[in-house]
Amino acid sequence: MKKYLKKKITWGLCALFLLLVMFCKKRLPRIPNREYTKACLYMAVLDDEICRNELEGNFVGEKEIVFPPKPDSLQYRYHLFLESYKGYTQEQIAGEMQRFEKRLIDSRKFCKNKN
């Protein structure tokens, strides 16, 4: 009886350990942490510039669109991208960066009062 109980407990702990490993693997980025944070910061900078090019100075109703200071905006976007792209592979993140770069080039058409 004791042997049977030990066996059940051992298999239960193994299953619990495997579930824990799978959960952690899903939550952690699939690329090195340093690369991941650099990519998220780069995308945050690109996204901020795109939004400022396309929207700053425009009006919604009678109110002009004004952005917060760049450091505050970048910090918010950086944390947003850290959370959003958590499960992406290196290739997927590279694709997203290319998409942002293309969009930045397109957004320069909308840029007002910039040299």
pLDDT at 1 over 60: yes
Does any domain span residue 3? yes
| Same domain for 77 and 43 | yes
As for how many domains the chain has, the answer is 2
Question: Any idea of the CA torsion for 84, 89, 90, 95, to the nearest 10 degrees?
Answer: -70
| pLDDT tens sequence across 40-74 | 999 999 999 999 888 887 888 888 888 889 999 99
- 9 and 38 together in one domain: no
Count, in order, helices (H) and strands (E) of the chain.
4, 2
- Angstrom distance (rounded) from CA 48 to CA 100: 10
pLDDT for 26 beyond 90 = no
Global pTM exceeds 0.75: no
What range does the domain containing 21 cover? 1-28
Closest by alpha carbon to 78, among 49, 101, 113, 47?
A: 47
pLDDT above 90 covers a percentage of the chain that reads 37
Does the pLDDT at position 19 exceed 80? yes
Facing residues of 60 across strands? Answer: 63
Q: Are residues 11 and 54 in the same domain?
A: no
66 shares a domain with 52: yes
- pLDDT higher than threshold 80 for residue 33: yes
Residues 49, 19, single domain; the answer is no
Q: Are residues 58 and 96 in the same domain?
A: yes
